[in-house]
Amino acid sequence: MNSPALPASFSSEPHPGSSYFDLSRDEWLERIAARKAQLGDQLVILGHHYQVDDVIRFADVRGDSLGLARYASTADAQTILFAGVHFMAESAAILARPEKRVILPDLRAGCSMADMAPLDELEQAWQELATVRDVTRVVPVVYVNSAASLKAFAAQRGGVTCTSSNAEQVLRWAFERGDAVFFLPDQYLGRNVARHLGYDPRTLAVWKRHEPLGGLDAEALASKKLLLWDGYCSVHMGFTRAHVEHWRNERPDIRVLVHPECHDDVVEAADDVGSTAHIIQRVAQSPAGSEWAVGTEINLVNRLQAEHPDKFVTSLSPYPCLCATMYRIRPPYLLWTLDELAAGRVVNRIKVDEQTKQAARLALQRMLEITT
Ligand code: 13P
Ligand code: SF4
């Protein structure tokens, strides 16, 4: 059998050789379990809810972004292996005690939304904003789905990070500290939370990254309460209001439960909205026979279906919405990183330069304090 060649990564570390891909699924799973047992409490595996079953089964702790960041900040194990995407592993590396090391089994596991907000574009936007209003009265709120440099940028300007589960509390905090909030990168999370907090949509404006002054006129810009970067999650954009209507016609008792990265039209039409942990809890706590159409990543929806055979759980969309970067973390990568660790080599370690780390930690810690 020919083994698929692995594309070059931006890691300087070697990738698993083709021999890893020649193993059967059972061999991967057996060898991962054996390595994990061998490494014992030196290692903790954190798994985000969007991971595939063959990876999440090895997670010692499963969670949403907030839960995993919190766990990483107090983890005892020397090595934290992060089964998730880069920004999550980076937050873990920032929050973990300095002697800990954080590994991401495939460094190409990024986030397309995070990539929509590079630091230089934010710096440029901030400079332009400063020409029309006092930016010392604008509080940057950065969704954790972003690079460490953005978190540092926010901290240096009195700002903070948020996750999907605490965005409401964090935005309240931010509005008390300035005249306006600059929210990024996800315009929909910002919009959905602002609506829930009762902000008039006319006080919001989308900052279009590639247009002068964000595509807004100076007068309008000076009076807005909430500026939203024009980023979005391509996975959650797969859900539409027509999907909600479809399920309501098909099954009148169904409840529509969505992630707040969905379009505001979808969130408005849904029965409930929340983080991945909230979605799991709502389905788990519902009585047998409950029916749910869930608007989030397909691996989580399929798992909910499998774990609750007494309930009807389906994806809101007829087309599976898969997060291709979460999906990069697969058993051969997990096995390779564990084999290397057992041989005394730490591969794919997440590193953040000290200056950025300190500032980004401040933004993350502010968030944790607001939400404790
Ligand atoms: P949660 O924090 O709700 O797990 O969301 C993370 C994420 O990336 C959703 O797309
Ligand atoms: Fe990023 Fe969307 Fe994937 Fe979440 S689901 S990691 S926001 S691309």
| pTM, entire model | 0.95
Q: Which residues pair with 162 in a beta bridge?
A: 143
Encode pLDDT of 164-202 as tens digits: 999 999 999 999 999 999 999 999 999 999 999 999 999
The pLDDT assigned to 12 comes to 37
The pLDDT assigned to 220 comes to 87
Residue 270 above 70 pLDDT? Answer: yes
Task: Domain ranges for the chain, please list them.
Answer: 8-110+325-351, 114-233, 236-315
Nearest to 54 by CA among 334, 371, 351: 334
229 CA distance to ligand 1 centroid (A)? 18
Tell me which of 82, 326, 329 to substitute to probe ligand 2's pocket, judged by most ligand atoms within 8 Å of the beta carbon.
Answer: 326
Encode pLDDT of 14-31 as tens digits: 465 568 888 999 999 999
49 CA distance to ligand 1 centroid (A)? 8
Please name the residues in contact with 270: beta carbons below 8 A apart, sequence gap of 6 or more.
244, 256, 257, 258, 262, 295
Candidate CATH numbers 3.90.1300.10, 3.30.70.270, 1.10.10.10, 3.40.50.10800; the one for domain 236-315: 3.40.50.10800
Residue nearest to atom 8 of ligand 1 (CA): 145
The pLDDT assigned to 7 comes to 39
Cβ of 163 less than 6 Å from ligand 1: yes
Better-predicted residue by pLDDT, 18 or 271 = 271
Angle at 83 between CA 79 and CA 88, to 5 degrees: 85
Residue nearest to atom 3 of ligand 2 (CA): 323
Query: Does 114-233 carry CATH code 3.40.50.10800?
Result: yes
Which ligand sits nearest to residue 259's alpha carbon?
1
Q: Domain spanning 8-110+325-351 has what CATH number?
A: 3.40.50.10800
Encode pLDDT of 298-335 as tens digits: 999 999 999 999 999 999 999 989 999 999 999 999 99
Residue 3 above 60 pLDDT? Answer: no
pLDDT above 70 covers a percentage of the chain that reads 95
Tell me which of 164, 186, 273 to substitute to probe ligand 1's pocket, judged by most ligand atoms within 8 Å of the beta carbon.
Answer: 164
